Amino acid sequence: MFLSIILTVLVCYLSFTLSVEHTKLATGFEEFTPLPFQPPTPGTISSNVLALSCEAKNSKCSAFLNALKRDYRTTPLSLVGSGQGTLVNVTFGDQNVFLKLSTATSDTWIVQEVFQCVNPLTSSDALDSSCGFGPAFEPTKSPTFERIADENFQMHYGRGDSVRGYFGYENITLGGFTVKHQQVAVVDYAAWRGDNSSSGILGLAYPPLTRAYRGTDYSNDDDSNRVKYDPIFTTIHKSGFVPAKFSIAICRGDHSGGYLTLGGLPPGTPPKPKLVSTPIEVLKTDIPKYNYTDYSFYTVTVNEFLVSGPSALNSKDMISEQHQKSWLNLANLTDFQMIVDSGTTTLNLPTTIAKDINASFDPPAVYSEKIQAYRVSCNATAPEIGVRIAGHVFPVNPSDLIYTDTDGTCFSGVNDAGSGLNVLGLVFHRNAIVVYDVGAAEMQFATSEEFSVQGC
């Protein structure tokens, strides 16, 4: 009897811990394939919902959000920069702030009141206001904040922005519950181009992407002195608050809102939702700093990118029956990996695909080496494109392929990944319900037309 109990406990423990399957390769090295720690979680609606607030302050939208707060214990979120970023309302200790939601980073960090702001392009000192942060955190005024000694934080982002600082423990409240004593980073140096609303990042990716280092000398930071810790969503599901699953749904039209739902699907989900599933994979890349043997980013295989057009009628393989459209493959590229990230605005694609799509604008979008993005006329006509995942085509609304920067310049929603990672960014999230089933190691998607979310 005693042995049986021990075995039962051991099995439960192993089912909760990500195990690793070892496969011998011809080279003699071992390939590591992490396994999910639970079967796919049921398609249930979660009460831990954070609502995306509306840009337009109309009465219909306000009434909807007020009702949602009563029924689902929501914390307000916002879309900023013409939909270029998604902000979630988080409480640090007893201070309410907005953090930018990112599913391609794991550290949750916030800027402190006294910090050094520098220009990301020149690394020269700049006014604090030029970093574009929202309200800063005041750790000395929080009775629940506890600084971690001899440990530093440093993070570099794809467009040249970077932050660094120190770690501490704080009580974090979001989605209707409080995570006590959560490790978070506090930034005191920032080369940052913010949105003037968010005070930092809420990172929801896997633990290997955290950036905690031993010591206080930033020049010594490398993989040899990394310190492992559980980021906030890992803490949330390990603590039993919710299943290891969350979803992002962004409304279209004049609502311009939506949900981050922890533990399940957003309100209004049909009883048997039409979800397309595909495995989360270990990223395979030649870029050394992203070369992990475990789950890191939410990585999936994309079958192909397509453009709508009559020439596709000659190929049965390019016809999407579920949308009654004809689709033409772009650049003859098939089955390549992309990471799913709510924190990246654009679709970052292989060079040949990015060129084909941007050439399809009328007039065509033009690449700028200086800013490493495609400029486009604000009045241009964007093409209708689609992305095929697990055999299913997810259309992208042309209206999401042109966005306006703060200075009035318009850019394409499709960018060249170059030597970086291919990314399904916010452009894709605006056109699909995206479910991150972390426990089952799979992503689930549904087109906006097939998945009517409450209030959208």
pLDDT at 4 over 90: no
pLDDT at 47 over 60: yes
Q: CA 411, CA 367: separation in Å to the nearest integer?
A: 10
Which residue, among 229, 109, 243, has the nearest Cα to 175 in the 3D structure?
243
pTM comes to 0.83
Tell me: the pLDDT tens digits for 106-125? 999 999 999 999 999 889 99
Per-residue model confidence (pLDDT) at position 266: 77
Which residue, among 90, 87, 66, has the nearest Cα to 78 in the 3D structure?
87
Q: Which class does domain 49-262 fall in?
A: mainly beta
Which residue, among 111, 91, 158, has the nearest Cα to 341 in the 3D structure?
158
* Residue range 276-447 in CATH 2.40.70.10: yes
Domain ranges of the chain: 49-262, 276-447
Tell me: the pLDDT tens digits for 118-173? 999 889 999 999 999 999 999 999 999 999 999 999 999 877 899 999 999 999 99
> How confident is residue 408, by pLDDT bands cut at 50, 70 and 90?
confident
Inter-residue contact 416 to 354 (CB < 8 Å): yes
Give the 3-state secondary structure of residue 423: strand
**What is the 3-state secondary structure of 336-350?**
EEEEECCCCCCEEEC
User: 227 is written with which tokens?
Assistant: 């310190």
Tell me: the pLDDT tens digits for 352-387? 999 999 999 999 999 998 888 999 999 999 999 999
Per-residue model confidence (pLDDT) at position 51: 55
Which residue, among 78, 77, 54, 434, has the nearest Cα to 265 in the 3D structure?
434
Q: CA 225, CA 151: separation in Å to the nearest integer?
A: 10
Q: Rounded to an integer, what is the distance from CA 122 to the centroid of its chain?
A: 28
Q: CA 227, CA 220: separation in Å to the nearest integer?
A: 13
